[in-house]
Amino acid sequence: MVTTALTVAGSDTSGGAGLQADLKTFEEFGVYGVSAITSIVTYAPDRGFIHDLDFIAPDVLIKQLRSAFALHDFGVVKSGMLGTAENVSLLASALRDSDAPFVFDPVLACKGQGEMVDLKQSFVDELVPAAAVITPNLDEAAQLTGMDPLTGIDDMKQAAAALHARGADAVLVKGGARLDGDAAVDILFDGRVYTAFDTPKLGRLMVNGAGCSLASAIAAGIALGNDVPTSVKNAKEYVTHAIAAHTPNASGVDSVWHAASRLAPSTGVEVTAKSL
């Protein structure tokens, strides 16, 4: 029987991020993807391709969630861009009625859009305690914990511990290519052990969809029965191939290519996992 996964996220017109990225990633892992749309991200070519963000009416999201959970017995639920406090509460309510593990990508801003959506408290109160895994980047981890900007491994460990203390079963703080050094490093904490996952950096090119795709790949792994560390390692390898084979568009921010690990894998992609 095919395993199913639900993504509750925004639609990204570029095709590189959002629920499009999630559904492509689920498919690459052999998981049947289902979606509930929270918002629509479009690009304004006459204004330098900045993002425009339109939210789906709450009653429409409610109907999507009711339909999805009535139709399928999900192996995992993953969320991305939620956009409003009401959407956060609607998802939290749906999760309380489901026993599917929840992978939480706490999106606070679109790539290239500087203003944070002010959902920090809603996230911490309603969704962090429901998460089997939460996957904040450095900015999101700092925002959700109230810490100063994270600049190194020790900061990432502290943020991971703080989010675990708020109820998440496991926390993956994504350092990516933004930390000093030659490796792109992410830190996983499960309440007992800190594990560093690293790959050689691919440069500092900004790409769209890496965070969405990493979280959905982790979700797919969990849905298939893998433990969290294995799911994280496989997901990081998958996304590293997708970043290396990035595909361009007119916005100036390339998109990850979700089929890269299958159709055009890069040489030298190896994920190292080390307990700290």
Q: What percent of the chain has pLDDT over 70?
A: 96
Query: Which pLDDT score is estimated for 192?
Result: 97
**Whether the Cβ atoms of residue 163 and residue 145 lie closer than 8 Å to each other:** yes
Joined together, the tokens standing for residue 75 give 């192996």
* Residue 10, amino acid: G
pLDDT tens column, 67-123: 999 999 999 999 999 988 999 999 999 999 999 999 999 998 754 443 445 789 999
Query: Which pLDDT score is estimated for 44?
Result: 86
Query: Which pLDDT score is estimated for 215?
Result: 99
Query: Which pLDDT score is estimated for 110?
Result: 57
Q: Give the β-pairing of 50-55 and 32-44.
A: antiparallel
**Whether the Cβ atoms of residue 153 and residue 185 lie closer than 8 Å to each other:** yes
Query: Which pLDDT score is estimated for 163?
Result: 99
Does residue 273 sit in helix, strand or coil?
strand
Which of the two residues, 56 and 109, has the higher pLDDT score?
56
The 10 Å Cβ neighbour count of residue 71 is 11
| Range 52-65 average pLDDT | 94
pLDDT tens column, 227-241: 999 999 999 999 999
Joined together, the tokens standing for residue 87 give 């959407």
**Would you place residue 265 in the very low, low, confident or very high pLDDT band (cuts 50, 70, 90)?**
confident
Instruction: Say yes or no to pLDDT of 124 above 60.
Output: yes
**Whether the Cβ atoms of residue 104 and residue 222 lie closer than 8 Å to each other:** no
Q: Can you tell me the distance from the alpha carbon of 87 to that of 255, in angstroms, rounded to the nearest whole number? A: 26
Instruction: Say yes or no to pLDDT of 66 above 60.
Output: yes
> DSSP of 59-125, one letter per residue?
HHHHHHHHHHHHH---SEEEE----SHHHHHHHHHHHHT--S-EEE----S-TT--SPPS-HHHIII
Query: Which pLDDT score is estimated for 112?
Result: 44
**Would you place residue 160 in the very low, low, confident or very high pLDDT band (cuts 50, 70, 90)?**
very high
Query: Which pLDDT score is estimated for 181?
Result: 86
Return mean pLDDT, the chain: 93
Q: Can you tell me the distance from the alpha carbon of 266 to that of 137, in angstroms, rounded to the nearest whole number? A: 24
Query: Which pLDDT score is estimated for 36?
Result: 99
How many residues does this entry show for the chain? 276
Query: Which pLDDT score is estimated for 114?
Result: 39
Domain 4-275: which CATH class?
alpha beta
Q: How many whole angstroms from its chain centre is CA 196?
A: 18
List b or e across 141-162, with b for residues whose CB sees 16 or more CB atoms inside 10 angstroms. bbbbbeeeebeebebbbbbbeb
**Would you place residue 186 in the very low, low, confident or very high pLDDT band (cuts 50, 70, 90)?**
very high
Query: Which pLDDT score is estimated for 115?
Result: 43
Q: What percent of the chain has pLDDT over 90?
A: 75
| pTM for the predicted model, two decimal places | 0.95
**Would you place residue 254 in the very low, low, confident or very high pLDDT band (cuts 50, 70, 90)?**
confident
The domain spans of the chain are 4-275
DSSP code at position 1: -
Joined together, the tokens standing for residue 162 give 């703080």
Instruction: Say yes or no to pLDDT of 152 above 70.
Output: yes
